[in-house]
Chains A and B, each alone.
Chain A
Amino acid sequence: MKISINTKISFLIGIFFIYSLGLPFCAKPSIKGYLEIDRLPNIAPDYIGSVIPPNIAPLNFKIKERAANYYVEIYTRKSNRQRIRLRTDQIVKIPQRSWRRLLSQNRGEELLIDIYFKAPDLGWQKFHTIRNYIAKQKIDSHLVYRLINPGYILWWEMGIYQRNIENFDESPIFTNRVTKHNCMNCHSFCQHNPEIMLFHLRGDYGGTMIVKGNQAQKVNTKTDYTMSAGVYPAWHPDGRHVAFSVNRISQSFHARKDASIYVRDNVSDLVVYDTETNILTTSPEVSTKRLENLPEWSPDGKYLYFCSGPEVTQETKYNEYRYDLMRIPYNVETNQWGKVEPVLIANKQGKSVSFPKISPDGKYLLFTMSDYGYFAIHFNSSDLCLLDLTTGAYRQLPVNSPSSESYHSWSSNGRWFVFASKRQDGLCSRLYISYLDPAGNAAKPFLLPQKDPEFYDTFIMNYNVPELITGSVDISRSKLLKTALGGLLQAKFDPEVDVDGLSGATKIVKPKEQ
């Protein structure tokens, strides 16, 4: 069939029109003819040389190089069809759908980013290609954290938020706007399950909120035999028992410019709470004059790991309080405690262990090591270390910085971990994600991406206690609020406990004035 010239022209005009709309999924021509610059580009955040999950939100970044025009290509060697091409300004915002497709279809491949720039009076130039690696294993889809101000004593607005790390959605799980601006802290999940969680409310409407599925209950875990309500929590894998520390905490402020705050327990012990029987129990083994703190269950639920520090005395200086890593066998079904066993005596090396977290496969234990104390986020000396539980050997991970690295948690598949670090500015803690291979090698961490890559420049809240969970927390706000404002279930102390054998829980030990 002959096609008239007018039809052909119309057809070409139509094609040209569609092309010139600049649909993001249409391939744009690459830059031909450019000068190669012999270095990597300066971008912020530093998304260079990391291993990234295939389901992470786009790693939007800012090009910190001066130029008139920029052009960015994101691709893998395997497939050219998903190549993302962007004419952009300094702020590079990657289209989410294209990104998602590129990553999901190129697991195990190198992710390559080419940045071209054009200075006035010069042609196009190109930096070295940025390389990241797309892991085969996904990371859990949601991250829960508390947002708090950098202040230490006072508080006003705070909340526990969940962030979908496959995109940029962040929503509150609970904020203190509805509870007279009280304090809330220590959210915790059972084996990354968003349906089993707890967090504490302090002050007005105080109590521990325990959430299971669509049910919530507020419990007062302070009893006549415990010096405080439960503090640092750890869910037993059975989703029924929770280990808590009970503490009397004090904090002091350094006058020297390169030190900040020192948080110390005057006394601390461990207890275990049964959410079904409402009974709180302990043992003389974990309720001694020493400072038992920061509980963590083994994945099989047979051992309770914890940090153990020396008894507080007037003679001991503040920078001599060092915690060792211990564990104790405990059978939650029969309520039988074993004997405390040492796992890592860091004190002998002049170091202190805190925040032990065991990988889901039980092979590794991630912990923070600092020069002293346990509230590591305030110490520049605090670094992340990995203990091989099969060999007992530990080492510092290469993810550390000169600033503090602290609270960390594993993903449910044990291949990722997230931790808080103040490396950006020494002031605000930000969240970094790192990949750990089966051999225990950690990749370079990368900053939790935000839609606006300049977001962190002016955001002055701290990210606190990051926890990876496998889905979103869906319990209704009204239910949570109703529970928070409602009655309190009083926990009962286990009558079987030999209270005379306890040296911490039965007595509030008031140390003399330092």
Chain B
Amino acid sequence: MESRARNYVLSLIFFVSFLVLTLYYHFVFQTQLYYHFHQPIFLFNHTFIHEFLSYPGGVLELATQFLFQFYYYNFVGALITALLIVGIWVMLYRIVEKLRSSEISLLLSFLPVFLLLFLQNHYNFPLVITFKYLCAVAFFYLYLKAGERAKVILIISSVLFYYFVGGWIYLFWVVLGLLYELFYGESPSRYYFSGMLVGFYLLCPLILSRALFFIGITEAYLYIVPSSAFFQPFMFRLSLFLYLFFSALPILLPVIFIFDRYIIGKPANAIPGGSRGIIGPISMVGQSLLILITGYLVLRYSFDENEQRQIRIDYLTYQGRWSEVIEQAQSIKGYERLTNFNINRALYHTGQLLDNLFAIRQVLGTDGLFINKVIASQIALPASELYLELGHIKAAEALAFEAQTKFRYDPRILKQLCLTSLINEKYAAAQKFTALLSASLIHRSWAKHYQAYIDDPYLCLTDDFMQFKRAQQPQTDFFINDEHPDYDLVQLLKEDPDNRMAFEYLIAYNLLECKLKNVYKHLDKYKNFNYPHTPRHIQETLILLELRDPKGIDLRQYNISSETIERFSKFNTILMENISDRKQAQSLLASEFGNTLWYYVRYVTPLVTNLELKVRKIDEDLY
């Protein structure tokens, strides 16, 4: 009876935890952002699947990709994450109960889960680690329950387990098995099993890496996640918390044993599932409350809202929800280049680029407007998207290909390549990308839509976006200039004087470079766009230019508001009053004029701050 009550309470606790976690991951963490950040895909395609089968650890990664693709749907992702975490907890509970059934098994089993909650609360944490951990503890539980003969079979078949999970998780499982045998094994055969476990760990990776897989020795023994996880944009690290997470259960095993044997004085497993009276359920409730509080604290304080905001901005940018991007931008703390870049795009699309460019801290100047001056895989796709918006189709295509070198099956990249191919009327090339995407459960409807365009190119003529982009793209040839994208913008405008985005980006580029005379020079194209009022930053530029060179500037055709004139006057007054104290002047001017060109040219531009992008040296001998 008491046992039944206890089990009932236990099930309730796990179920409630599952619900709470689902709600957390759905409403707070928002697993669709996690999806957006990682862009997982699963393709029913032989080449795709075969790649995962060619190294130890790939099988579980493939399985994770299958699950991870469903994070496209926020709630489904939340369900899966909660299921994995609670699944791990349930397995750990069973393990702890098997080792030594006690009143605090629930709490003890929660210890690794507590650490996992911390880790999984970061967007760059690979989901595959959680999945592999679950498989490892499940396999360990199987080992605990096995008789001697079955253990031999399990150890031998652990070769397959190694192939499924990779070196790191295999080591984790072997350590668990070893500790179990040494501390909990009772017959002399424990030394035999221990030897087998160690032997298999030492030999399996060595033999298989030489005979079967083309991998290095370090990878053979210690592989945990694909190496791309350690680079941008993920920058996953083997942190202290990760080591603690993997150490928690191995530490618990001997601790429980020592506690039982030498402190309480009973052998382990003395009371397997035994009666505890009414204290059991009450103690469980108490533990649950403690778990709830610690769980809340770890989720609350390990969650990085700013990181989420940055990812959300990227997500909203990708969706073209520009007003929401601007809204999110108000709460961003600190500076992040890609976020700056996305906000600039949103400023354009909400008609604010030349009015509020400097409302955002443009600390990297033009490197926050165009991000591909130094090519890198993590910026290639966003840069490609910008070029597509500008109508610079070949540049968009080239950058999408660069992105694809590292993220070969990233669905966003495949879609971008499909679109640029269709715009360029390269239907056979587009077919390749739709064929891949149609092998995905999530993206097949998108692929089907564009496959129709390939099957009947006439449909492209009826697609306004396609036609618009075809009209925008350059017909005369020139070389794409990554170092000076403003040259390309000039070319784009030559071919299509109505390309408003190219115009505004050109002006913004020169504003950020503090090339104000260039701004004035390009204002000859201004008349094409029927601005209802002269954009604020242009007014600020003209006032500044007129101050420096009154004869060189003709202000008559531009409407400079009296408000701008007054502001400029006030700016100069404060500046002059504090001319000998730059810091004082800056601090006085920041609040009222921080969003002006005048403030930017004096205090923010990299020309003054000497702020530079960190660039990794590339070997020149590339060929």
Contacts and interface: CB of A to CB of B under 8 A. Distances in A.
B367 interface: no
Given A149-B404, A185-B623, A425-B432, A254 B214 contact: no
A460 B405 contact: no
A453 to B, nearest CB: 12
Contacts, number: 143
B222 interface: no
Interface stretch (A64-72, A135-143, A175-183): A175-183
Interface of A: 149-157, 159, 172, 174-175, 177-178, 180-181, 183, 185-186, 202-203, 206, 222, 228-229, 231, 247-249, 252-257, 259-262, 318, 424-428, 452, 455, 457-460, 476-478, 481, 485
Contact of B480 (A159, A186, A254): A254
A261 B488 CA distance: 16
B314 interface: no
B78 interface: no
B114 interface: no
Interface in B368-383: 375-377, 380
Given A177-B219, A252-B480, 5 more contacts: A157-B408, A253-B480, A256-B476, A257-B425, A259-B477
Contacts of B39: none
A254 B488 CA distance: 11
In this complex, which of A149, A156, A185, A428 has the most chain B Cβ atoms within 10 angstroms of its Cβ?
A: A156
Contact of B477 (A154, A185, A255, A426): A255
B58 to A, nearest CB: 12
A181 B227 contact: yes
B19 interface: no
B436 interface: yes
Interface of B: 45-47, 55, 210, 214-216, 219, 227-228, 375-377, 380, 392-395, 398, 401-406, 408, 421, 424-426, 428-429, 431-432, 435-436, 439, 473-480, 488, 491, 618-623
A172 B618 CA distance: 26
A229 B621 CA distance: 7
A149 B432 CA distance: 14
Given A154-B377, A154-B380, A427 B480 contact: no
Contacts of B216: 177-178, 481, 485
A74 B109 CA distance: 65
A256 B475 contact: yes
A183 B620 CA distance: 12
A458 B428 CA distance: 11
A253 to B, nearest CB: 4
Given A149-B405, A177-B214, A460 B477 contact: no
A247 B210 contact: no
B488 to A, nearest CB: 7
A256 B477 contact: yes
A257 B219 contact: no
Nearest to B488: A255
Contacts of A425: 426, 428-429, 431-432
A156 B623 contact: no
6 contacts: A151-B405, A202-B622, A252-B480, A254-B480, A255-B474, A256-B478
A181 B473 CA distance: 35
Given A202-B619, A256-B477, A156 B405 contact: yes
Contact of A428 (B45, B398, B432, B619): B432
B150 to A, nearest CB: 35
Contacts of B439: 458
Nearest to A186: B623
A394 B388 CA distance: 44
A426 B426 contact: yes
A477 B401 contact: no
A318 B395 CA distance: 19
A253 B435 contact: no
A407 to B, nearest CB: 14
A253 B395 contact: yes
Contacts of B45: 458
A460 B432 contact: yes
A174 B215 CA distance: 10
A202 B621 contact: yes
B390 to A, nearest CB: 11
B402 A256 contact: no
Contacts of B432: 425, 427-428, 457-458, 460
A342 to B, nearest CB: 26
A155 to B, nearest CB: 6
Contacts of B46: 452, 455
A153 B480 CA distance: 14
A175 B214 contact: yes
Nearest to B45: A458
A155 B404 CA distance: 9
A47 B102 CA distance: 72
B539 to A, nearest CB: 33
A254 B210 contact: no
Contacts of A222: 621
B470 to A, nearest CB: 9
A183 B475 CA distance: 35
B394 A255 contact: yes
Nearest to A200: B623
Given A156-B377, A424-B428, A425-B428, A151 B402 contact: yes
Contact of B424 (A156, A257, A455): A257
Contacts of A175: 214
Nearest to B228: A156
A152 B428 contact: no
A160 B280 CA distance: 63
B622 A262 contact: no
Nearest to A181: B227
Contacts of A247: 623
